[in-house]
Amino acid sequence: MTDVAVVGGGVTGVSVALALRERGHDVVVLERSGVASGQSGVQPGGVRQQWGTPVACRLARESVSWWRNAEARLSSPVPLGFRACGYLFVAHGEATLRRLASNVEVQNAEGVPSRIVSPAEAATLVPGLDAEGLVGASWCAEDGYFDRPQAAVEAIARHVDVRVAEVTAVAPSGSGWELSGPFGRLTAAAVVVATGVDANRLLGPLGCALPIEPEERHLFLSEPVRERLLEPLIVAPELRFAAKQLGDGRVLASDLGAVGDPAEGAQRWRAVVRDGIRRLAPVLEYVEFSVLASGAYDVTPDRQPVLGPVPGHDGLHVAVGFSGHGFMIAPAVGRIAAAGVLGEPDPVLGVLDAGRFAEGRLIPEPQVV
């Protein structure tokens, strides 16, 4: 028997396990295939603080502080390469600029050093940006990227007990819980489900399914480009376009509205990306995007995660529904989810709890990319 069993070996699961282990608890992570083999393995490693709700800003603010020192904190055997390159959200229309300005007010109130910039300053911050047609932008210089996000997850996992074992059922057992699957059985005083879009496979049979749906996401990647063409990440909501050059030289570009079958939609998505490059980032004109990478967000109705105890099921906890921003807030989530397991109060647990859906306490996040 173990104190806590965490189901799911992505960045969320191993972060929860690390926080509990640092508090002196015996923790086992059960992962069906391998560390970061699911959603955590395909995300590009962004860490940003520009959100539109106080709770999201708080999670991001705490996490970016942790991530800055992750390489030394985790004694990583390889460089993780966090780069504070900055994120620029651009506005082509006044309505979008007002929304960005409103978000900046929320961010500043939570200590995030973001600000609204003019089109001229945006062009200075992002060399090669075509600012014609812009009415302004929001900028945070502290936002950034990891060169090796997979390595960052693996560095956390080195400090916890991860076992490759598929959990097919979780059930109450005495004063604790029994987890079962092809590996056999394991008992634990508490369980944390951190399996993303698959959470309801375990929660549904217990009668506590959550409103989480998969949302397909697709992005294009180039082969490594030796020349540094684009340092900050740029996001243009009205163009449905985002782009960034990663540390290894590859350029990432996305149609933010890309959904559906890649075989049917890839050509259309490429056209959106090419239009965004033409209108905003002509410096990328000759970059070929040869790779289409696909994954899925685990989306909740308000695009906010679900954290903490599951009502009516003592000892059962969740950390799911991150809507694509699980990596960037994982350190804060790990600490807060661990607090929930240990019965310690944390304000976030009363905001992002599972009961908010039935009680109509949604906190819609407007700045999901």
Question: 188 - beta bridge partners?
Answer: 2, 177
Looking at residue 301, its pLDDT comes to 97
With residue 277 as reference, give the H or E element that holds it. Answer: helix 262-280
CATH code of residue 17: 3.50.50.60
Q: Residue 367: inside a domain, yes or no? A: no
Contact between 327 and 151 under an 8 Å Cβ cutoff? The reply is no
**315 and 285 belong to one structural domain:** no
Looking at residue 345, its pLDDT comes to 86
Residues 280 and 236: their CA atoms lie apart, in Å, by: 8
Contact between 149 and 22 under an 8 Å Cβ cutoff? The reply is no
Q: Residue 252: inside a domain, yes or no? A: yes
Helix, strand or coil, per DSSP, at residue 297? strand
**134 and 223 belong to one structural domain:** yes
Domain span at residue 201 reads 2-46+150-212+300-359
Look at the chain and report how many structural domains it folds into. 2
**Tokens found for residue 50:** 């520009």
Give CB contacts under 8 A, 24+ apart, made by 258-264.
258/216, 258/217, 258/218, 258/219, 259/215, 259/216, 259/217, 259/218, 260/216, 262/218, 262/292, 262/294
Last residue of a domain, one of 252, 281, 298: 298
Looking at residue 23, its pLDDT comes to 95
Looking at residue 39, its pLDDT comes to 64
Q: Name the pairing type of β-strands 316-320 and 184-193.
A: parallel
Question: 217 - beta bridge partners?
Answer: 295
**Residue position matching structure tokens 């590996």:** 183
**202 and 319 belong to one structural domain:** yes
Looking at residue 35, its pLDDT comes to 86
**Residue position matching structure tokens 């173990």:** 2
Residues 232 and 225: their CA atoms lie apart, in Å, by: 16
**286 and 337 belong to one structural domain:** no
**245 and 291 belong to one structural domain:** yes
**CA 328 to chain centroid:** 5
**89 and 225 belong to one structural domain:** yes
Q: Residue 75: inside a domain, yes or no? A: no
**254 and 287 belong to one structural domain:** yes
Contact between 333 and 187 under an 8 Å Cβ cutoff? The reply is no
> Would you give per-residue pLDDT tens digits along the chain (369 residues)?
899 999 999 999 999 999 999 999 999 999 998 887 766 545 778 999 999 999 999 999 999 999 999 999 999 998 888 989 999 999 999 999 999 999 999 999 999 999 999 999 999 999 999 999 999 999 999 999 998 888 999 999 999 999 999 999 999 998 899 999 999 999 999 999 999 999 999 999 999 999 999 988 899 999 999 999 999 999 999 999 999 999 889 999 999 999 888 989 999 999 999 999 999 999 999 999 999 998 888 999 999 999 999 999 999 999 999 998 999 999 999 999 999 999 998 999 999 999 999 999 999 999 988
Q: Residue 171: inside a domain, yes or no? A: yes
Q: Residue 181: inside a domain, yes or no? A: yes
**244 and 294 belong to one structural domain:** yes
Strand ranges inside the chain, DSSP E: 2-7, 27-31, 46-47, 82-83, 87-91, 115-117, 136-140, 144-146, 161-164, 169-173, 176-181, 184-193, 213-221, 233-236, 241-245, 251-255, 291-299, 306-309, 316-320
CATH code of residue 263: 3.30.9.10
**307 and 336 belong to one structural domain:** yes
Residues 95 and 99: their CA atoms lie apart, in Å, by: 6
Model-wide pTM > 0.85: yes
Last residue of a domain, one of 255, 280, 298: 298
Residues 290 and 288: their CA atoms lie apart, in Å, by: 6
Looking at residue 147, its pLDDT comes to 84
**203 and 293 belong to one structural domain:** no
Looking at residue 42, its pLDDT comes to 59
Q: Residue 65: inside a domain, yes or no? A: no
Q: Name the pairing type of β-strands 46-47 and 82-83.
A: unpaired
Q: Residue 349: inside a domain, yes or no? A: yes
**224 and 271 belong to one structural domain:** yes
Last residue of a domain, one of 298, 313, 335: 298
Q: Residue 190: inside a domain, yes or no? A: yes
At 51, the amino acid letter reads W
**263 and 346 belong to one structural domain:** no
